[in-house]
């Protein structure tokens, strides 16, 4: 099913790029969706397909062919979910480690999308058949807060916030190594690794800007471990894992960017046992804040997952420090005033 949109370009828009004009006149679409329409030939100017960078003259007629989102055909599965918040526009979940976000080669079932389809049945179709409602992702081994959308309007609104970097995203990470400064930022582009294609790297020729801000929460010097609170300005694939591994500060337990020798070198037997038993990187998305489609500014919090908290509890006892200042509020949702 398709919808046709007609636009008469007035002289006010002379010299403006076609993609910019459409982005302003189709607010329900993201810029990437607009570009995809143009690239697919779904936009004609005075009857002819045209490129995204075409400069308008001010006396043309545009025809845009909009396809309705495809019906979602991914299987719904009765998989337990921890729901932090839900209304008619979106649903916020606490994703466990080990769960893949959406179906992909090697992961056709058991994903967050499969679970969400069973739970709410009305995810937005913008993400396509395999990624309905998905506006951002967490790695399989990363736990924490995620939002999925139920309407196309909510999906596009959240997508624009992610693109504008106005989403608040905070993480906890435990890294191997001693971080000297109390806080800092990493600004290194990230793209596909030039040789190891399953990895990302700052050495990629096609890297995109990636910025991570960090603050030291605790130093466990004898074990050469540092607990960090992280704020993402951008959200590239494996961003935190790449940024710190390339500083020789790999995340504890990271199966892709770490090295098992780091854990084996830890002197305390119980710390070493707990870390070797993680079977995933020590990374938890503990806070997610964004503007709801109704205008409210919301933030959702998730305490550390049990396997990660066990490591911190032991280290705090080992070093005789008070873990109260490390506690993440159990409040699941709060409105930011």
**Any bridge partners for residue 3, and if so which?**
66
- E strands in the chain: 2-8, 43-45, 48-49, 61-67, 83-86, 90-95, 143-149, 168-176, 183-187, 191-192, 200-201, 211-220, 225-232, 283-291, 297-301, 333-335
Residue 3 neighbours by CB under 8 Å, 6+ apart: 65, 66, 68
For tokens 């050495």, name the residue. 203
DSSP 205-254: TT-B--EEEEEEEEEEGGGTEEEEEEEESS--TTHHHHHHHTTT-PBTT-
- C-alpha 240/C-alpha 257 separation (Å) is 11
State the catalytic residue, choosing from 139, 221, 229, 254.
Answer: 139
Cα–Cα distance measured from residue 31 to residue 24, given in angstroms and rounded to the nearest whole number: 9
Helices (H) and strands (E) in the chain, counts: 8, 16
Contact at 8 Å (CB) between 117 and 74? yes
Active-site residue, 139 included: yes
* 132-135 CB contacts, 8 Å cutoff, 24+ apart: 132/72, 132/74, 133/91, 134/101, 134/102, 135/159, 135/162
Alpha carbon dihedral 35, 41, 47, 50, in 10-degree steps, equals: 50
Two tokens, residue 87: 């209304």
Tokens of 25: 């006149």
CB 58 within 8 A of CB 11: yes
Active-site residue list: 139
């Amino acid at each position: 099913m398709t919808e046709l949109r007609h636009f008469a370009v007035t002289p006010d828009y002379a010299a403006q790029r076609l993609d910019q004009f459409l982005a302003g006149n189709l607010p329900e679409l993201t810029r990437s969706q607009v570009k995809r329409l143009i690239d697919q030939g779904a936009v004609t100017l005075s009857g002819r397909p045209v490129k995204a960078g075409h400069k308008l003259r001010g006396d043309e007629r545009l025809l845009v062919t909009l396809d309705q989102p495809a019906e979602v055909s991914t299987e719904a599965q009765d998989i337990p979910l921890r729901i932090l918040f839900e209304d008619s526009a979106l649903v916020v979940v606490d994703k466990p480690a080990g769960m893949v976000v959406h179906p992909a080669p090697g992961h056709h079932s058991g994903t967050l999308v499969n679970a969400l389809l069973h739970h709410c049945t009305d995810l937005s179709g913008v993400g396509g058949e395999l990624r309905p409602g998905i506006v951002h992702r967490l790695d399989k081994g990363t736990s924490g807060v995620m939002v999925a959308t139920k309407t196309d309007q909510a999906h596009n609104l959240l997508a624009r916030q992610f693109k504008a970097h106005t989403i608040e995203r905070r993480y906890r990470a435990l890294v191997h190594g001693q971080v000297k400064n109390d806080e800092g930022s990493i600004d290194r582009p990230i793209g596909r690794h030039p040789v190891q294609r399953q990895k990302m790297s700052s050495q990629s020729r096609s890297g995109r800007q990636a910025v991570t801000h960090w603050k030291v929460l605790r130093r466990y010097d004898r074990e050469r471990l540092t607990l960090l609170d992280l704020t993402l300005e951008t959200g590239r694939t494996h961003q935190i894992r790449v940024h710190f591994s390339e500083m020789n500060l790999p995340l504890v337990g990271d199966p892709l960017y770490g090295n098992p020798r780091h854990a084996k070198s830890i002197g305390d037997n119980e710390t070493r046992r707990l870390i070797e038993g993680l079977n995933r990187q020590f990374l938890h998305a503990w806070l997610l804040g964004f503007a709801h489609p109704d205008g409210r500014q919301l933030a959702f919090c998730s305490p550390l997952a049990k396997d990660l908290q066990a490591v911190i509890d032991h280290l705090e006892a080992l070093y005789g420090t008070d873990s109260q200042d490390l506690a993440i509020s159990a409040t699941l949702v709060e409105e930011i005033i």
